[in-house]
Amino acid sequence: MKKVFAEFFGTFALVFAGTGAITINDVSGGAITHVGIALTFGLVVLAMIYAVGDVSGAHLNPAVTVGFWVSGRFPAAELLPYLGAQLSGALVASAVLRVLFSTHATLGATLPTGAPWQSFVLETILSFILMLVILNVSTGAKEKGITAGIAVGAVIALEAMFAGPISGASMNPARSFAPAFVTVKFANLWIYLTAPVLGSVLAVFSCRCMKEKDCCPLSSLRIT
């Protein structure tokens, strides 16, 4: 239960701060700026890794949890509780933002500005890079320590900085699902539910090409 609550809290903080920054930027006439939004996402993830990394591993992202499971670092018995905690934390964060900004149309939902396939490819590659970094700086299924916090937070900020204007740079199904659910805007949501998971799984297989241990998929998969 401690791990589940840590994932709930960490994902709540991520969605509240990240999508909150987008919402506040809209209602304040651009006071935060795109760069500020990207940094907000990176910094809140960094902070949550330091805050709950030793408890739950600070996945904060269903795609990351699935990636750890496929890599054999995470037990199947904890998969659904983690996913449930992440989705619940994200939904509560979006619900709070709905109360605070009742007239805002999207509450920071991720929406492609170009063709759907373009955002799908972008989200897959972004998630691939993120998961590959996570696999190489984490211990087991835990993102913890100074190196992990800085590396993961920096990658998220970097990817949000350059890809955000096109795909939204979600890389996280929970982060995209929650504001879409609360604002009832499901158009193109499939991109942000499938592409991050696909990218994370591909990263696991690619990691095996670089490292002899700790990234081997399927052969070391724990099912209990």
Percent of the chain with pLDDT over 70: 90
Higher pLDDT, 1 or 83: 83
pLDDT in tens, 98-119: 999 999 999 999 999 989 999 9
- Which neighbouring-strand residues pair with 142? 139
Given a cut of 70, whether residue 214 has pLDDT beyond it is no
Higher pLDDT, 53 or 209: 53
Count of CB atoms within 10 A of residue 193's CB?
A: 17
Q: How confident is the model at residue 224 (pLDDT cuts 50, 70, 90)?
A: very low
For tokens 């994200």, the residue is 90
CB-based contacts of 213, cutoff 8 Å, min separation 6:
none
Output the pLDDT for position 136.
86
Classify 2-210 by CATH class.
mainly alpha
- Which neighbouring-strand residues pair with 139? 142
* pTM score of the predicted model: 0.90
Q: How confident is the model at residue 137 (pLDDT cuts 50, 70, 90)?
A: confident
Domain boundaries of the chain, sorted by first residue: 2-210
For the chain, the average pLDDT equals 90
Q: 94 with 19: CB under 8 angstroms? A: yes
Q: How confident is the model at residue 208 (pLDDT cuts 50, 70, 90)?
A: confident
pLDDT in tens, 32-50: 999 999 999 999 999 999 9
**What's the alpha-carbon Rg for the chain, to the nearest Å?**
16
Instruction: Describe the crossing of helices 33-56 and 145-167 by its angle, rounded to 10 degrees.
Output: 140
